[in-house]
Amino acid sequence: MPIAKSQMGETVQAGVGKSSQEQERGGFGGVFTVTCFDTDGNLKWEDSFHNLVVNEGLQDLNNKYFKGVTYSAAWYLGLVTGPGSGTTYNAGDTLATHAGWTEYTDYSGNRKAVTFGSPTLADPSVIDNSGSPSVFTVTAPGGTVAGAFLCNVASGTSGVLFSEGDFTGGDKTVAAGDTLNVTYTFSADAA
């Protein structure tokens, strides 16, 4: 079932083998923050929105953390535009197959590398790229951006899609020369 824009919160909980009265739960999820500046450096708009960690992303997380499958710290942010009739996200989406959205590519270069800082030693533990946001420079004369996604390849469809999300206030208009600064914040808690 596709996830509509209004359902974009993502919390995953897991129980630990205790009695039902003292069961511990953990959760994790991410938030994208996108800030758009015009060619003169003026703020045009800003939006923060929760993501959907897709099935492929959950499997990748488990494989790398618990199974020790080959790991690379390479992560990339991409931008989303709708298919023309509204954007939807599905837990079964992959980079190769995502019927509810298309990738927005009217910016210079490939998807932008993510440089994460050190995770916090707290509950929740948080990691983000706020110290070095991923920067997109729009090259098209005009268009709309609907959201963002996180994956492990700079281009193409052969990599792993980890998460995807949609703006909370609807699609945003961009113009040539606009700069979009994108951060991704991922947190895991034991609450």
Structure tokens belonging to residue 115: 């440089």
What is the C-alpha separation between 126 and 120, in angstroms, rounded? Answer: 5
Residues 6+ apart with CB under 8 A from 7: none
Residue 16: half-sphere exposure toward Cβ, Cα within 13 Å = 8
Question: What's the pLDDT tens digit per position in 34-63?
Answer: 999 999 999 999 999 999 999 999 999 888
What DSSP assignment string belongs to 55-70?
Answer: HHHHHHHHHHHHS---
Across 97-146, the runs of DSSP E, i.e. the strands, are 102-104, 112-113, 125-128, 134-137, 143-145
Q: Which residues of the chain have pLDDT under 50?
A: 1-22
Any idea what the Cα angle at residue 113 is, between residues 176 and 175, rounded to 5°? Answer: 10
User: What is the SS3 assignment for 5?
Assistant: helix
Q: What integer best gives the mean pLDDT of the chain? A: 86
Yes or no: say if 71 and 58 are a contact pair by the CB < 8 Å rule. Answer: no
pLDDT at 24: 56
What is the C-alpha separation between 95 and 20, in angstroms, rounded? Answer: 39
Question: What's the pLDDT tens digit per position in 132-157?
Answer: 999 999 999 889 999 999 999 999 99
CA dihedral 105→50→101→149, nearest 10 degrees, is 40
Closest alpha carbon to 26 in 36, 12, 45: 12
Whole-structure pTM value: 0.84
Instruction: State in Å, rounded, how far the first CA of the chain is from the last one.
Output: 28
pLDDT at 128: 97
- The conformation of residue 172, written as its DSSP 8-state character, comes to E
Closest alpha carbon to 169 in 142, 146, 135: 146
Structure tokens belonging to residue 153: 């390849």
